[in-house]
Amino acid sequence: MLNNRYLNNNIIFNNNVAIEGVVEYFYMVMKRCLITISILLVLCVQDAEAQPYQSIFGNDSTEWVFIWYNLPGAFRSTAYIEKDTAVNGVNYKKLNLHNNLGYKAGLIREDTTKGHVWYRDINIIFTPDDTVDRLIFRFDLKVGDTFTLQAQCHNWPYLDTVDSVKQVNGLKHIYFRSKLHPNAPEHITFVEGVGANYGIIPLANSGYAMQNRYLLCSYKDGMKTGFENVRYEGACEAGTDIAELNNQTEITVYPVPVQDVLNIKNSSATKIHRAEIYNYTGVKVKSIVAQNITNVDVSELPTGYYILKLYSAEGVTLSKSFVK
């Protein structure tokens, strides 16, 4: 017979082996769990990083309603996506203007995985055609990041720094340190899924005529986006559409574009006794005084966009835009 001491030692030994086996099995299970969790975390992080930013385009239609300033005051215009197109195998959307005042359309493309938007000019009036895609928006910017702003509100393009980032009405707002206009309280702001608070048109393709642009509202597929302008408390009706202004009068100018003589067709009883022409920078380049002006010689003016201001003896003022 085995003595009790041997039996007790054997039981203790077997128990120790069993316990060690359980510990080893538990360690193996925990190790596998940790590996699985690590893989899942990596996949989640990668998925979060690949999460697309909101597109600035609608599925069927996209519009940006903005106000701009030039002589004699404020006007409202609408930029819109005209169609899809491709250049050298790269897909773009063609941007145009409902009332084409010196604007000769542009091409836009975006990468929603990065939050980047590029712009290419088409047939610019005052500068040569541009074949380079410019990065106009980055919706992945963080506080302290710098970005070269590409627009024409004041002396742009120039490098600016992100001051703060907020969520407003479900849209990411990226606020830069610079003001939208020197005397305005609002800062330059990128709005994810929209563009910027100065609209969508960058640089010289505005024809320099649409100065100090300010986005009133934007639409995707006929529905207003979550962007709310501050200056007019969200209203989209500020300003006067220059096409509407011209249609409300009985005075028209032709031909446009003009080469030598700009004719003034006046169906009203009002006689025009003074005419002034201003260039795109607001400088008066020509002035005429007569009893009843019916045409203006513009042959000496260089090619460009101009504003014609007409005055009657009663002090009535009318503005007409034209391109030479």
Rg (CA), the chain: 32
Mean pLDDT of 284-303: 90
Asked whether 296 and 278 are in contact (CB, 8 A), the reply is no
Q: Give residue 102's pLDDT.
A: 57
pLDDT tens digit sequence for 174-220: 999 988 876 678 899 999 999 999 899 875 455 456 777 889 999 99
Residue with the larger pLDDT of the pair 291 and 173: 173
What's residue 177's pLDDT? 93
pLDDT above 80 for 42: no
Q: Once rounded to an integer, what is the mean pLDDT over residues 241-266?
A: 74
If you average pLDDT over residues 122-151, what whole number do you get? 80
Res. 321: pLDDT tops 90: no
- For residue 35, the model assigns a pLDDT of 58
CA-angle at 6, arms to 5 and 10, nearest 5°:
120
pLDDT at 208: 56
Percent of the chain with pLDDT over 70: 68
Q: Among 92-96, 164-168, 182-186, where is mean pLDDT lowest?
A: 182-186
Residue 221 has pLDDT above 70, yes or no: yes
190 - beta bridge partners?
174, 196
Output the pLDDT for position 163: 97
pLDDT score recorded for residue 150? 77
Residue 274 or 152, more confident: 274
Q: What is the mean pLDDT of residues 71-90?
A: 85
Q: Give me the pLDDT at residue 300, please.
A: 93
Q: How confident is the model at residue 55 (pLDDT cuts 50, 70, 90)?
A: very high
- Calculate mean pLDDT across residues 139-155: 83
Q: Which two tokens stand for residue 131?
A: 């074949």
pTM over 0.75: no
pLDDT confidence band for 313 (50 / 70 / 90): low
Find the range with the poorest average confidence among 16-20, 169-173, 202-206.
16-20
Say if residues 307 and 70 touch (Cβ distance below 8 Å): yes
Left, alpha or beta for 122 (phi > 0: left; psi -120 to 50: alpha)? beta
Long-range CB contacts (within 8 A, 24+) of 238-243: 238/67, 238/74, 238/76, 239/67, 239/68, 239/74, 239/75, 239/76, 240/73, 240/74, 240/75, 240/76, 241/75, 241/76, 241/77, 241/99, 242/75, 242/77, 242/99, 242/101, 242/321, 243/98, 243/99
Reply yes or no on whether the pLDDT at 261 is more than 90.
Answer: yes
Query: For the residues 83-111, what does the mean pLDDT come to?
Result: 85
Give the pLDDT score at 103: 67
Res 302 pLDDT > 60: yes
- The larger pLDDT score, comparing residue 41 to residue 293, is at 293
Average pLDDT score over the chain: 78
Mean pLDDT lowest for which of 28-37, 205-214, 232-241? 28-37
| Angstrom distance (rounded) from CA 265 to CA 250 | 8
